[in-house]
Amino acid sequence: MFKVKFADIGEGLTEGKVAEVLVKLGQEIKEGDALFFVETDKVNSEIPAPVGGKIANILISQGQEIKVGDVVIEIDDGSSAAEVTPVAEIKTKNEPIEENASVVGSTPVSNDVIASRATTNAAAEISNSGVKATPLARKIAADKKIDLSTIKGTGPHGRILVSDLDSAPVAVPNTNSATKTVVKSVDVDAPLSWDSIPMNGIRKATVKAMVKSQSENAAFTGMKNINITPTYDMRAMLKDGCESKGIKLTYLAFIVKAAAKVLEEMPNINVRIDAENNAILQVHNINIGIAVDTEKGLMVPVIKGANHLTIFEIANKIGELAKKARDGKLAMTEMKDATFTVSNFGSVGLDYATPIINSPESAILGVGTMTKTPIFVKDEIKAGWIMPFSMTCDHRIIDGGDAGRFLMKIENYLSNPALLLM
């Protein structure tokens, strides 16, 4: 009998939340079959079985908090001796998780196929039994009379998610009864009401990190508009050639490369504070985090050794990490050890913002929306491209003058992008 224990799946995590139990009592499984989903502060991980056999006991349930060392499932593999297998020894696979129908974007639910609800008018109900879909998607489909067999699922193992229903045709019930339009009256003086939406792991981690950053750092933000017309022209020249090689060359790749080069020149920005020992730690590595906006919240995958990569390698890495972040498939190692962060809030339409430092880093570079505008060039007005930058620093160890010099060096590289290709 194997007793499977929950153990640390990365970065010193001591607990998790059972997002979904994927097996049933008495079920025959093979080694590697998924046992359950666990949600941590950083990722959602599918935990596979260490051995094959029959599920003898399930000691967890959906929504339950579990700690490292807890026995979660017992597997009868035919052995006589009781063995304990830590989950940490099993390779985990990250998958996106669908949300419960009762909340918005939080509680994961079972993947099991659930039969359609019985109604008094069976002819008007579409049978969606036998179709692999999440309970929330199934509930919405039942309410809207959507035939799930016509939908291609984009979730794990082809499972139909709520987002897959957006373009689905809605069936018209077959009924001879006259329909009436019912106008509901609204009581504008009704007392306040609300839906309680539990925070998912990513949101809880964001709350903790942002409060910690705001309470510990003496943050200030400096802003500068930079003429990136030369970078615009360089990207336009290289774009087609890059696409032919499968590389999506974005402006962010130029910015990350410029930041990495400036951090080499200004190691006093690539620092963190050791308050206990009244010391400043100057980090040798240049690992740049890129903030990615996802449906589940903000995630920050990390480009390791960005100063050693070419613009084209950085562009590939940005695309790869951003896709993993949005698909919920980032590994723990891909989200740790950042020394500096770049946040592209221009991608959501903002010109300026005051980004919050991602502790224990001491600075973050924010990038706003690029705008075509008249620019003076040698006393002549020409059309050019301006991009606003915002840099937030911890004033305890980075002074305003250093922040200004950093932005001026960024401007120098983006005004002379050929230097980034050297």
Instruction: Identify whether 150 is part of a domain.
Output: no
Question: Residue 127 has what pLDDT?
Answer: 57
Do 72 and 213 belong to one domain? no
Instruction: Identify whether 299 is part of a domain.
Output: yes
36: nearest Cα among 28, 24, 48: 48
DSSP character at residue 192: P
200: nearest Cα among 19, 321, 358, 60: 19
Instruction: Identify whether 149 is part of a domain.
Output: no
List % helix, strand, coil for the chain (3-state, nearest 5).
30, 25, 45
Question: Residue 238 has what pLDDT?
Answer: 95
Domain with residue 282: its CATH number is 3.30.559.10
DSSP character at residue 316: H
Q: Which residues pair with 38 in a beta bridge?
A: 18, 45
Question: Residue 317 has what pLDDT?
Answer: 96
Question: Residue 374 has what pLDDT?
Answer: 92
| Tally of domains in the chain | 2
Question: Residue 147 has what pLDDT?
Answer: 84
Locate 57 and state its tokens.
Answer: 């006991």
Q: Which of 55, 76, 97 is the last residue of a domain?
A: 76
Question: Residue 342 has what pLDDT?
Answer: 96
Instruction: Identify whether 229 is part of a domain.
Output: yes
- How far apart, in Å, are the Cα atoms of 277 and each of 274, 362, 420? 6, 17, 38
Question: Residue 43 has what pLDDT?
Answer: 62
Domain with residue 59: its CATH number is 2.40.50.100
Q: Which of 57, 76, 95 is the last residue of a domain?
A: 76
Rounded-to-integer distance, Cα 410 and Cα 415, Å = 9
Question: Residue 181 has what pLDDT?
Answer: 63
Domain hosting 6: range is 2-76
Low-confidence ranges of the chain (pLDDT < 70): 7-14, 41-44, 80-130, 134-136, 155-157, 167, 169-184
Q: Which of 76, 93, 123 is the last residue of a domain?
A: 76
Told to judge if 308 belongs to the known catalytic residues of this protein, a careful annotator would answer no
- How far apart, in Å, are the Cα atoms of 145 and each of 14, 116, 220? 44, 11, 54
